[in-house]
Structure 1
Amino acid sequence: MSTDRRAVGARLRALREAPPRWSRAEMSRLLRAAADPRDRAAMPHVETLTGMIKAWERGDHLPGPRYRPLYARVHQRPESDLFPAPAAPALIPTTADDTVEALDLARRVAASDVGGDTLTALEAAVDDLASAYPTSDPGHLLGRIRRHLHYVDGLLDARMTLAERRRLIAVGGWLSLLAATCHIDLHQRAPAAARLRSAAALAWHAEHSEIAAWCLETEAWQALTEGNHRRALDLSRAARQAAPRGSSAFIQATAQEGRAWARLGDADETRRSLTRVERLVAPLATPDRPEHHYRYDPAKSDAYTATTLAWIGDAAAEPYARAVLGRLEGGEHGPPRPRRAASARLDLSLALLAADRPDEAAHTALEAITSGRLVPSNHWRAREVLTAVKARQVPEAATLSEALHDLCNPPNKQDVAGSGVAGSALDS
């Protein structure tokens, strides 16, 4: 069906641009003029209809039954030439296109302008996508996010109040930020940087300080994974300054600052950051959707503590890491989260190294590497375990090295990158 939409959209655009060449605004006026006078009053204004034409020509969705006869009259062609009958529906699962089409249908039934119901539905879609992030393949999730971004882009030309426009821009900011996170997981640096710039610009236009803070925090995590620890520290601090006090972004940036201090080898500053996180998290209740990427789940602080303590070689990291792993795999605190469990095993491996148990550390790291859940944005953490295991001449080092080599060098890198097997920047 998406192919049909694109083909129809290309046909409509080609007809409009053929001599005598009409602009979209001119096409809007022609469609209105072709309508019965009794129906014209219920049609959208020229500005709104122009945005709808843009979306139709782009293939986002098909013109509805009200507009197809009007197109036929304007172009003096049978309606069946412009809009072929759709193929028989295949038995396929629901996709993100269904969600976007449902949003558009609701908007067009209620009114042609962007209204509160459409914006509320879009905000709910953002929450669904952010909640799907910890358990979804980033490549697949990125496709869903793109479709929603295209839909938001198509709405920007519609008529709306200033408050509605600000809400719409904020939706675009959240979607761009989540897309950037998926690109980081896939080690796609250029698209990630572009998405982060876009999200930051939208946050500025929407005057949305939390999105702005999350942009900085996400960039801090990316810097940390790339070994740029001082930059990660600076970005984490900037994120704390930008975030509303006590918000999820503020807590996350504080935790990220602690990790940066750990990578810089400052144990005192690291522990001070952990103490700040503990105080911030203490009064929090578990959110209604703890899997939401941008809502801080208090239980997540244990995972950060395990990682951070392991990075400064503190043996106290082990009980934290074991508790986190048990919680992620146990199911009593929600469904098992195998992706996060894989990165938790790396934390446990580092903790076991700090406790001078390298054999067990090698075995635990091997479980993570061979789980099929470890991600490109976390491969460097596995390399650190391997380096430490080799330095201690653990017999399992050769097996671990071979497994990590296979993970980082799959038979067809392009296929693996395209499938989006990658990990969470918040598991981060």
Structure 2
Amino acid sequence: MAGKRRGFAERRKACGYTQESFAEAMRVDRTTVYRWERGEADPQPHQRPKIAKLLKITVSDLDGLLAPDSPVLAASHPWLVPHVLADDDEQDAWELARRVEASDVGAPTLRRLEGAFEDLATAYPVTPPQDLLRRVRRHSAYVAVLLGGRKTLSEHRRLLVVGGWLSLLAATLHIDLKQEHSATARLQTAVALAREAEHAEIEAWCYETEAWRVLTDGDYARAAELSRIAQSVAPAGTSALIQATAQEGRAHARLGNGKETYSAIERVRQMSDALGFQERPIEHHYQYDPAKSLAYTATTLAWLGDSAAEGFAREVISRLNPSGDVTAWPRRVASANIDLALVLLTGDRLDEACDAARKAMMSGRVVPSNHWRALEVVKAVEAKKLPEAPDLREAYEGLL
């Protein structure tokens, strides 16, 4: 970039800063401030809010100061000191202003990316994770390319947000596939992007997702702790807050903490009821709905050994109205059938339990991160020495 930014320098002086003292306040070298004012470099996005605060202006006004000097900019910002451009500089100045305002991103591209994420999050319950991961990778790579191009501050933040959501979804898919190192890297990226964009809900979802991962590994106390951290980060009224509360309840159920489990179930019920009932909810992984509350309650009560889990599991299955083709089920129905099998085994309704478990495993919706749940049913059937045990074991091994 070329073209002096006289207005930036004048504003700095008007606020009582020398180049050296301004550099000290910004914790940069004086030559960095010099290059900003000469138009030879741009402040980084994370530096701009602090610069605006020091200059006692808005970030939007700062954008004007960082544009090359022109009569139009001076008129738009009366605190700029007017000056006359030499005739041979005028065309260059206007071209530089045009380039500053130009963007390699644009609103249509951002809308397409944001819409693509919504589609991916909705496809999550019914798409094999390895297939969905390929699509998520393509969109994430495109976001990375755009982050390296020209863009406005608003576009930059929107890219950070959609990049954060995509990284979070990729981490979830890696967890489903038991790809631990990739999941960790994706979660770390999602957290970094969320913090850079100051998007607390994405950060909360990252903690909740990690809570689910350690729960599947059997570290129930850590899962409860991470769920509470997620709740402390999540903004009020968000799906992340409800989901993190539900995750805490599931962790307490595995620990056998009845009081804490029922307390979490009640808090989830109250928050999900406030969302209103949806006859056919959209299966969006990051949008909670009352039907999800039913599903999580079924799982939580089944793990606690409460027979009330049966009613919740059957209601989930009934509401989502799966067809006779089990491969068309959403993932939530497969999980509800595993919950149903667990509670039916406890009540010695063995034939029904085996049938529910078999259907869940034949659906193709039990992802690797949930294999352990199916295995619990298989082991319980084997422990009872039921004649269905060999067939159920064979169905389970077909998942592997």
Q: Which TM-score applies when normalising by structure 1? A: 0.67
1:179 aligns with 2:170: yes
Q: RMSD between aligned alpha carbons?
A: 2.5
Name the CA distance, whole Å, in 2 between partners of 1:371 and 1:123. Answer: 30
Instruction: Choose the corresponding residue for 2:371, options 379, 388, 401.
Output: 379
1:398 aligns with 2:381: no
Aligned to 2:245: 254
What SS class does the counterpart of residue 335 from structure 2 fall into? Answer: helix
Name the CA distance, whole Å, in 2 between partners of 1:365 and 1:141. Answer: 25
1:344 aligns with 2:312: no
List aligned pairs for 1:36-75, cutoff 5 A.
45=99
Q: How many residues align?
A: 304
Name the CA distance, whole Å, in 1 between partners of 2:252 and 2:167. Answer: 28
Name the CA distance, whole Å, in 2 between partners of 1:300 and 1:214. Answer: 16
Change (3 A) 1:380 1:402: same
Change (3 A) 1:275 1:179: same
Aligned AA (1:353): L
1:28-81, CA deviations, whole angstroms, 9 ceiling, x for partnerless residues?
xxxxxxxxx9xx969985x99xxxxxxxxxxxxxxxxxxxxxxxxxxxxxxxxx
Change (3 A) 1:271 1:121: same
1:181-237, CA deviations, whole angstroms, 9 ceiling, x for partnerless residues?
111111111101110000001101010000000001111111111111111111111
Asked whether the equivalents of residues 128 and 365 of structure 2 are also in contact (C-alpha less than 8 Å), the reply is no
Percent identical pairs in the alignment equals 57
Determine which structure has more spread, i.e. the larger CA radius of gyration.
2
Name the CA distance, whole Å, in 2 between partners of 1:370 and 1:158. Answer: 47
Instruction: Choose the corresponding residue for 2:275, options 253, 271, 284.
Output: 284
What SS class does the counterpart of residue 386 from structure 2 fall into? Answer: coil
Instruction: Choose the corresponding residue for 1:125, options 102, 105, 116.
Output: 116
What SS class does the counterpart of residue 235 from structure 2 fall into? Answer: coil
Aligned to 1:389: 381
What SS class does the counterpart of residue 299 from structure 1 fall into? Answer: helix
1:320-344, CA deviations, whole angstroms, 9 ceiling, x for partnerless residues?
111111222347xxx9634332222
Aligned AA (1:320): F
Name the CA distance, whole Å, in 2 between partners of 1:125 and 1:329. Answer: 27
Instruction: Choose the corresponding residue for 1:213, options 204, 209, 218.
Output: 204
**Which runs of no fewer than 5 residues in structure 1 stay unpaired?**
1-36, 49-110, 409-428
Aligned AA (1:310): A
Aligned to 2:137: 146
Asked whether the equivalents of residues 173 and 203 of structure 1 are also in contact (C-alpha less than 8 Å), the reply is yes
Asked whether the equivalents of residues 281 and 291 of structure 2 are also in contact (C-alpha less than 8 Å), the reply is no
Aligned to 1:156: 147
**Bigger relative contact order (CA 8 A; separation at least 6):** 1
Change (3 A) 1:130 1:42: farther
Asked whether the equivalents of residues 113 and 159 of structure 1 are also in contact (C-alpha less than 8 Å), the reply is yes
1:361-403, CA deviations, whole angstroms, 9 ceiling, x for partnerless residues?
1222122223333221111001111222222222212221222
Instruction: Choose the corresponding residue for 1:265, options 238, 251, 256.
Output: 256
1:297-352, CA deviations, whole angstroms, 9 ceiling, x for partnerless residues?
11111011111000011111111111111222347xxx963433222210110121
Instruction: Choose the corresponding residue for 2:321, options 324, 329, 333.
Output: 329
Aligned AA (2:372): W
Aligned AA (1:337): W
List aligned pairs for 1:293-308, cutoff 5 A.
293-308=285-300
Name the CA distance, whole Å, in 2 between partners of 1:147 and 1:289. Answer: 28
1:392-421, CA deviations, whole angstroms, 9 ceiling, x for partnerless residues?
22221222122212322xxxxxxxxxxxxx
Mean CA deviation greater in 315-324 or 289-298: 289-298
Aligned AA (1:382): A
Change (3 A) 1:376 1:394: same
Aligned AA (1:220): A
**Which runs of no fewer than 5 residues in structure 2 stay unpaired?**
1-90
1:115 aligns with 2:106: yes
Mean CA deviation greater in 184-193 or 129-138: 129-138
Q: Which TM-score applies when normalising by structure 2? A: 0.71
